[in-house]
A and B are shown apart, each in its own frame.
Chain A
Amino acid sequence: MATAAAHQTDSTAAFHSDDASAGADGFERAFDAAVAADERIEPRDWMPDAYRSTLIRQIAQHAHSEIIGMQPEANWITRAPSLRRKAILMAKVQDEAGHGLYLYSAAETLGASREELLDKLHSGRQKYSSIFNYPTLTWADVGAIGWLVDGAAITNQVPLCRCSYGPYARAMVRVCKEESFHQRQGYELLLALSRGTPEQHAMAQDAVDRWWWPSLMMFGPPDDESQHSAQSMAWKIKRHSNDELRQRFVDICVPQAESLGLTLPDPDLTWNEERGHHDFGAIDWTEFWDVLKGNGPCNEQRLTQRRRAHEEGAWVREAAAAHAAKRAARTARTTETTGATQA
């Protein structure tokens, strides 16, 4: 346990030790005390069932988002307009697969298996971020995804680096480092387009126009409609409300858009001196719920591609398993023979 020393405090000793005599109430009190003291919960620690299942759901859906999120960008790998951009994009898509792997591993520490989680994704029982149901129609979309989508993801994920569940928090530290790198690359891609030919500038503006609102939707429904928020905040899985994070994101993006020389597609966007924040227009929540329900522009396509990759890869995974079993059997036989000879 990474924070074992920190855990040996009076309030939480029973909880972290495997002392069954503490009783269920004792465990729960100790868990609450650990969360209140900002300690990390680790895989072998006792935790409420609902905390475990909420985390499995959230981490799994985060992992699914990473791997579905490879598709809209991979769509442009073979058409990237320079070798430098192609290398950057390939590296990014590779990082996303890596993030998927860390996150499935983090979910597995809670007793889920990657196979079972993938099965839930493929059967539509678990979701992924609604943003990846939008299509990448031009090269500039790759930049808009980097700047806005990764920017929104970072705003969401940085507080998760302090999440109460240790393995998730540690995965987030690694993920955020790479994400912020991707975000800067996306910004830089858009900047090159914005300062390029008139056609390139128009391409960049069009991409920002299409990705802005969906990016704001990434923070989830408004606070008064967010069903998991209160409990997640009490458990310190979540540190800030959806609307707080959305506001933070808008405030960050406005000056960045200005320095990009691009506009944000919101006529109501203005600085509010009194609040010290930008006011912004109303989000189309009908669109949000539609996309979430599976009726976005690419929902069908994304899930079909994911399922197909999995189904068409089945024979490869079976081969790997069969070969591993044969090797294990051969090793066992060799050990037996060697053992017999020695005896």
Chain B
Amino acid sequence: MTTTVPASAALSLGDDALVLSHRLGEWAGHAPVLEEEVALANIALDLLGQARVLLSLVGDEDELAYLREERAFRNLQLVEQPNGDFAHTIARQLFFSTYQHLMYAGLAAGDGPFAPLAAKAVKEVAYHRDHAEQWTVRLGDGTKESHGRMQRACEALWRFTGEMFQPVEGLDIDGERLETAWLKSVTEVLGRATLTLPTGPQSGAWTAGAGRQGLHTESFGRMVAEMQHLHRSHPGASW
């Protein structure tokens, strides 16, 4: 590939997709219904496909995925959050896929280096967003229990959302406009789901921008250890 994309931006977007894909892969065999086994694996596969394209623009995909230390990953803290219950997984999906969809739609409309890639990804991501929105509404406007779980999940993950709108080196997006569009969309979905928009802080020293600088939350190290263990045990082997 000859397109010159800014490596730091490709790494940020690639790591988001890689890490979220990994988390979704942990659901295999544990989903609440068979249809969700299929859906979650499908989303995980789309994201892994995006990660492979993006990381390959920067270097060798496997070297980047398996041989970097945790401090060198550039993903958002949001995507590395443990799956929790199904509501936590859906809240994480809603927040991230709305962001990813708006961002890729913006990049696809422009003529920057990410435009061709974004044009392809935006179709997949539209499906992810739709899936997350539908489940948010089902759980929010379902039973008393599901409503409570969905509300708690949104609140627990809210503090990780501010990071999405921080500038990313080499990525031509208007963070403020993105945030406005994202907030409008999420507010509308939560409203339909009879849920309340969380009010806690979404920015601050340990949330805004930390993942993009390689500062991650504690569970991330274990996730990386599991992901890299086999590859690192056989230096130089091919698979």
Contacts and interface: CB of A to CB of B under 8 A. Distances in A.
Interface string A317-334: 111101100100000000
Contacts of B238: 82, 192, 196
A309 B25 contact: no
A186 interface: no
Chain B interface, DSSP helix/strand/loop, else mixed: helix
A139 interface: yes
B146 A93 contact: no
Nearest to A118: B34
Interface string B25-57: 110111111111110011011001101100100
B143 A319 contact: yes
Contact of A315 (B35, B137, B145, B226): B145
A126 B67 CA distance: 45
Interface stretch (A20-28, A69-77, A157-165, A212-220): A69-77
Contact of B145 (A67, A305, A319): A319
A234 interface: no
Contacts of B236: 197
Interface in B182-239: 226-227, 229-231, 234, 236-239
Nearest to B142: A319
A70 B239 contact: no
A313 B32 contact: yes
Contacts of A319: 138-139, 142-143, 145-146
Contacts of A314: 32
B149 interface: yes
Contacts of B164: none
Given A316-B146, A323-B137, A83 B51 contact: yes
B103 interface: no
Contact of B48 (A87, A305, A316): A87
B31 to A, nearest CB: 7
A90 B44 contact: yes
Given A71-B29, A77-B28, A316 B226 contact: no
A97 B30 CA distance: 11
**Size range of the interface on B?**
35 or more
Interface string A184-209: 00000100110011011000000000
A167 B18 CA distance: 39
A101 interface: yes
B62 A70 contact: no
Nearest to A96: B37
Contacts of B26: 77-78
Contacts of B66: 81-82
A98 interface: yes
A12 B142 CA distance: 50
Contact of B31 (A77, A80, A309, A322): A309
Given A78-B22, A90-B48, A319-B146, A97 B237 contact: no
A319 B85 CA distance: 14
A79 B233 CA distance: 11
A90 to B, nearest CB: 5
Contacts of B86: 313, 316
B61 interface: yes
A53 interface: no
Contact of A317 (B33, B65, B227, B239): B33
Contacts of A74: 28-29
Given A81-B234, A83-B48, 6 more contacts: A78-B227, A80-B230, A97-B38, A192-B239, A316-B86, A317-B32
Interface of B: 18, 22, 25-26, 28-38, 41-42, 44-45, 48-49, 51-52, 55, 61-62, 65-66, 85-86, 137-139, 141-143, 145-146, 149, 226-227, 229-231, 234, 236-239
- Sorted nearest first, the 7 A-B pairs with minimum C-beta distance are A313-B32, A319-B142, A319-B146, A94-B41, A97-B37, A74-B28, A316-B32
Interface of A: 67, 70-71, 74, 77-87, 90-91, 93-94, 97-98, 100-101, 104, 139, 189, 192-193, 196-197, 199-200, 305, 308-310, 312-320, 322-323, 326
